[in-house]
Structure 1
Amino acid sequence: MAESKVKNLVICSTLNQITNYLVIRALKPERIFNITFSEDARRKMSDNIDNFQWDTWLKDELKSLSLEINDIKLEDKEIYNLSTIKNRISSSIHKNNSDNNEPIYWHITGGQRLICLAIYDFVKRRNNDRLLYIDGNNEKLIENDNKGKFITCDRSYADKELTFETALHLVGFNTAGLDRSHIYKVAEAENLSTNTDFLKEHNYYQKLYEIIKDEMDTEGLKKGGFWEDVIKTNQLQTKDERCRKIRELFCMLENNKTELKTSLLKSEKPYDIYNSEELNKGFPAGYIFEKVMSHKIFDIIKSDERIVQMQSSLKTEFKDKKDKDYNFMVDELDIALLTKTGKLINFECKSGGMTGNNAKSHNYTTYRLSGVFGMPIVLSPLNEGEILKEESILQTQKQAVRAAKSAEIEVWPIDKIEDRLKKLLDINN
């Protein structure tokens, strides 16, 4: 479809500013009208409504585009009166737009109901205007005419240059933690397929994943197998005990699994699991599980252009609180994928226990990061049969599954990662 040049775009201030950001980047309007609230009006609302902060985050990310942004600040006496809102919007737009016949595009994703109703009423008299909203479930930018009749959903709002840094800034997180995360995929960055150190690690964990799957049957983990014993090290009392046991298990594995040993011998300097970062952590089993899952997920999405970035151990911190008591790490996302349509897919690797409150914390963090576009997914070291069994070898891990489900968070078993992820990406294609 031939897309016309957009001169005027109206947006609604929202916590989910990434939707406004993506539409602005896609349409590249000459002029933007931002419907927001005055400070007096905001005081009448709940504490979690902070339009000033939301608008600041968006404008900061748009500075490089040098756009004209006009705020339409609704006053406290106007916010509950449909007619007054409509008149205020009309007068503000006419004041800054001399050509009344020039089409105005109204992006209403995230807009409050009363404001949307006022907009609908206003545009009925403007035949050239267009209503836009993002359907998050299908990742489509829907365009309607001024009477609400569907026109098209062919306009793309995808941004292949979108980054975690921008996505974090748009919802009020600082990005100090990005430097401490592990990068798997970044647009326009070094091609990991030529990174020798990364390939050693990737090949090792790919082979390890296949060995873990081979140890499982339809009922679950084989009693006394390598993977069961790795996860059980979480129950040991000290770090030294856990690390020593893990080393013993890997030594036995390499001696018993010739395919792993052969894979290691193919490299002049193979991946050294014994001196790796993960084997020197307090709970190495959890970090090993995260590595196994990270490399498996990377192998699935590495050529998928819809995924613009992938990182693990991604730390998030609030930046919207002045008090130093609020300047702390809110969460650490074990594995995070960012799509070019602004959706964040967060995987939490749970090799140990998990409380319901902990599950809900991750739920909230991902909601804030990606608005209505994403929810966390828990990855379990158990396979599908093990999760369904009433009696499990690893009861602590089953408790983590129950906690996640009680918080209405999806759980993926280790043997179904590829099927579930491909299905998820196909749904959102």
Structure 2
Amino acid sequence: MSATTPKLFPPFRADHIGSLKRPRTLLDKRAEFYAGKCTVEELREVEDEAIRNIVEMQREAGIKAITCGEFRRHMFYDGVFDNLDGMKYIPEVPGHMLMDYCPDVAAFKKLSFKGADSYVCEAKLRRNKQFYVPQYEALKRLTKPEEHKNIKITMCAPEWFHLRHGEYAYPKDVYANDDEYFADIAVAYRAEIKELYEAGCRNIQFDDPLLAYFCAESMIEGMEERGVDHQALLDTYIRAYNSCLEGRPADLTVGLHLCRGNFKDGMHFSEGGYDRIAIKLFQEINVDTYYLEYDTPRAGTFEPLKWLPANKSVVLGLISSKVPKLEDKADIIARVHRAAEVIASGDESRSQEAALNQICISPQCGFASHAEGNAVAEDDVKRKLALTVEIAKAIWPDA
């Protein structure tokens, strides 16, 4: 495939991370629902209408990997652990159960953030209900048949609550070690992925700020002070991913999104380039593509991309989802070509054209990982996505 050949499968040349700015009507209706002032059926009607509109916006912008904008969720990671038998909901987590070395925990404690809720394991983990299949089926009903194969379902990282809670993530009389804990999580993910595939899904994306935290010197130092082997823990998480994806169909595209945090108004939690984890990230995790944050210097340089294998792709998050200002088109194009130069310089011999063919572009994160969203308006989201498509077409004319 040359750099100008149409790309007919995910990730597309112009892609996005998944979450989109929720309209005020939806936020207000969900607040009514939580307050007991409307029925779930009434909430669903407003959700469906908002999703119809956001699907049409994506079409108009030229986006092919359509999502529901995560409009049926409050946080990007909703879906797995809140539906997994054996997990216990904790409305306010005691401070000793939160690991200070985890960058988001450290940030919230510094801000004296109170009332954080969470989940911890209290019994053997079992998937007795679907996680994301209902969201996929609902989106199918609101999209065209030819779009169904491109629908992207975003998924919670399998280690999400484990890193945050450390030794308190599960009772030792339930699981003797991390591998046992993740073995049952992997069983659940494999079942979910199988049913998503059977429903027609061919495009999934894991959202995982935690892997990027391993690039942060603050977390590495904090782990070492606490006696946590960060290298061994990263290896544990890689095994968990590969176990979750064991036996997946060859025509199911699996992406992995890394960022450094995207809370209310786009607040980030960590800094540091991908250099520390690049080899393991690109060469040991069995995914097809990587959605990488690259809109600010805190993500480092493109140099780690030299470790990207020739059979994988990277979606460069060069467009900011956190501010309304539009990026300079020429600057983004130049950065894409610089990234291709770095990829071509890697150990696997390839031309710069071949390296360019491994690249796509997107915003660096979602526009609303948290329901309230970033400091952008709904019109800003469309302008950002349209700019992403415009730049992609300038680089890859058949994008």
TM-score category of the 2 structures, normalised to the smaller one: under 0.3
* Structure showing the higher strand proportion among its residues: 1
Q: What is the TM-score when the length of structure 2 is the normalising length?
A: 0.26
Q: What is the TM-score when the length of structure 1 is the normalising length?
A: 0.24
